[in-house]
Amino acid sequence: MVVLVTGSAGQLGQSLQFIAPNYPEIQFLFYTSKELDITNLGQCKLIFSKHQPDFCINAAAYTAVDKAESEPEKAHLINVIGAKNLAEVCKELQTVLLHISTDFVFDGEKKVPYTETDLPNPTGIYGQTKLEGEKAIQNTWEKHFIIRTSWVYSPFGNNFMKTMLRLASERDSISVVNDQIGTPTNAVDLATALIQIILTDNRQPTKNYGIYNFSNEGQCSWYDFAQKIFEVNGISINLQPIATSGFPTPAKRPEFSVLDKTKIKNTFGLEINNWKGSLQELKL
């Protein structure tokens, strides 16, 4: 079985490379965004026709949430046109597409976890382009799994956990917002879930295509997340909670973006780690 991974230099791509040796039955093909530019349809066709992959995991994305507000064309090119290009080549070769989306497709107005059937209403360019990317895939190729996730962190790439650890080495005091609620997602857990979906679908192709939520279990604020990061790593620092209003950003964040994982757990028999336990296991 051949699985082609785009955006392999990012957090998820590197997490997939990390766990790949656990799955000798899969031939992974890892392409960085420099090696495979998903915004270039011709390049996509060339590489896909060469390898004829059974599955494609699209881990390539424009994820700079605030920067997207001033670079809407670039975000659209990668998150929408890139996603559509992959869906087109996957359709030509009957390749099943697994595409990563985000909790930012929601406005955060709810007070209970979001399900896959809740109406998206993004409040910024990043969320809007990710939603348009979902729609482009849905309108192009039926054999897709769109996985919405949230607050991704890992030992790889840039993320909140690594930022906190860096700041702790530079400062005595840090302020973190405590009124945005969501769920951290260990990218290695996400990568493992994607492989589980692939193995399940490969054994018994079904009509289970569509949108799924995946994050770790539980919920917290960014302040709670930071607190746990420092606790797990044995770091003593003056951590102060602040309101979102005290930390203005170009892009508005969802106030509440916890995702309901019932569908993915029931469909693929997944057991999902609590975010605290998963963070503990990842201790750097």
pLDDT at 274 over 60: yes
Report CA-CA distances (Å) from 198 to 57, 95, 177, 185, 266: 10, 11, 37, 19, 15
Q: Where are the domains of the chain?
A: 2-159+184-219+257-273
Label residue 172 exposed, middle or buried (CB < 10 Å: 0-12, 13-18, 19+): exposed
pLDDT at 284 over 90: no
Say what the pLDDT of residue 283 is: 60
**C-alpha to C-alpha distance for 97 and 95, rounded to whole angstroms:** 6
Active site members: 126
Say what the pLDDT of residue 202 is: 84
Say what the pLDDT of residue 32 is: 98
DSSP codes of every residue in 33-97: TTTS-TT-HHHHHHHHHHH--SEEEE------TTGGGT-HHHHHIIIIIHHHHHHHHHHHHTPEE
pTM of the model: 0.96
pLDDT at 4 over 90: yes
pLDDT tens for 96-130 read 999 999 999 999 999 999 999 999 999 999 999 99
Least confident of 55-64, 142-151, 203-212: 203-212
2-159+184-219+257-273: CATH topology is Rossmann fold (3.40.50)
**C-alpha to C-alpha distance for 18 and 8, rounded to whole angstroms:** 11
pLDDT tens for 20-39 read 999 999 999 999 999 999 99
